[in-house]
A and B are shown apart, each in its own frame.
Chain A
């Protein structure tokens, strides 16, 4: 009987000892685990900027930030050395975009081309996400207005203020397929209150295809194409195409690009692109985007 109890105790100690041993290198974190609970998580950073090059991208500004954008577009490359490959001439748009909510932003801008003012509001009812009830794509809507700032072509006739205005409406369906690759499609309608010729349509419909291919952590190849489906004038106008590189340096994003359009708002580049990309009627341009935090995020110490 005594022997049995000894065995019993030795056994217990052995048991304790082995438990102790295994405790040395066990994964303590597994004991509390649970952090793997699937939650809905928004896919972020599909583009470096809320604009692909010309067009709106599926990305939004963070709430409380302002994006100061200076867009430059030079003259046509085919002008040769006489105009230093277009660099002697420059057209620009200055813009201020504000992030209000995580999925709502507004912006205003002014272009030298036609002295045009523009403003827009952009809202995404659906954002691309992972986890339960997630969406594979971001769906965003943009509505904008542009105002021509030129003098009346004929001041003697009766002119209406509304004639200066044009509107655009756009839907963006985009998906970040991988860390490197993002693609978006954006059906767009532009309405011009006043058109030049009686034969010109007031409503122009286009479909945009924009994307990004990340080449490195801070450099990405981007393209931005709009195909005008309905309302393209018979001659002299072309579908706008821009290709470029996004380069991120600390607080700035530089978008170096080549484009066949001069205008830098939706009305201008969708309906008034006069360059032929294939024929060297291409302009060099760069967008400079600087994001400022104007409202501090809650940051508890």
Chain B
């Protein structure tokens, strides 16, 4: 191997590594549903946020979410008020964040269309508390875009969100979080 070849190889490697295919995917309009309806509740306790930020690093498998708590919209205005004022205290803790990794990232071929089951493991920070979360999710690669879907349950008391006895028949102790994001390549 002469120097010229070596240099070419290195340059190609570098080129591939940076621009070969997008290494990171992101969205700022991810959708996160939140459902804490208790089994006996006559009304649905659910909210939706359509402004979640999500970034996936395909190389490392790192996946991160951030969401503004005030961005959750509820069907009933009073529910939204109680959600912000009494439960998540969004004035004190405006953001919820998840930082984790796709543990089986090597099985996902981001440059090939298809559906991949993934396991995501990481830390969820909400209401000032951080807890480990692990869940199964699905990555759908299609036309250079990544759709990420997952749902998991969180125990509200883990995050120091108290449900008073008076509303226990309506508000469940666990909340179901449903994530669905359509990620686009991040041009760096």
Contacts and interface: CB of A to CB of B under 8 A. Distances in A.
B68 interface: yes
Interface residues of B, number: 46
A128 B97 CA distance: 29
A297 B75 CA distance: 5
A291 B80 CA distance: 13
Contacts of A9: 6, 9-10
Interface in B135-179: 164, 166-167, 170
Interface residues of A, number: 40
A293 B77 contact: yes
A1 B28 CA distance: 50
Nearest to B97: A29
A31 B188 contact: yes
B112 interface: no
B26 interface: yes
B39 interface: no
Given A29-B55, A32-B186, A217-B85, A251 B60 contact: no
A179 interface: yes
B69 to A, nearest CB: 13
A8 B82 CA distance: 61
B53 interface: yes
Nearest to A299: B75
Nearest to A5: B3
Contacts, number: 105
A23 B85 CA distance: 37
Contact of A23 (B13, B59, B186): B59
B47 to A, nearest CB: 9
A12 to B, nearest CB: 5
Contacts of B57: 23, 28
Given A5-B3, A29-B53, A16 B64 contact: no
A35 interface: yes
B6 to A, nearest CB: 5
B48 interface: yes
B86 interface: yes
A27 B167 CA distance: 38
Contact of A32 (B53, B86, B166, B167): B53
B66 interface: yes
Contact of A251 (B13, B14, B78, B92): B78
Interface string A196-228: 000000000000000000000110000000000
Contacts of A251: 78
B62 A28 contact: yes
A18 interface: no
A158 interface: no
A5 B7 contact: yes
Contact of A28 (B13, B50, B55, B91): B55
A62 B78 contact: yes
Interface of A: 1-2, 4-6, 8-9, 12, 16, 20, 23-24, 26-29, 31-32, 34-35, 44-45, 62-65, 179, 217-218, 248-251, 291, 293, 296-297, 299-301
The 10 closest A-B pairs by CB, nearest first: A62-B77, A28-B55, A5-B3, A293-B76, A299-B75, A28-B64, A5-B6, A250-B167, A32-B26, A12-B10
17 contacts: A5-B3, A8-B10, A16-B13, A23-B62, A24-B60, A27-B64, A31-B186, A32-B53, A32-B186, A62-B81, A63-B77, A179-B92, A218-B86, A296-B76, A297-B74, A299-B74, A300-B50
Given A31-B55, A217-B89, 12 more contacts: A4-B3, A12-B14, A20-B59, A23-B59, A28-B26, A28-B56, A29-B97, A35-B66, A45-B85, A179-B92, A218-B86, A297-B76
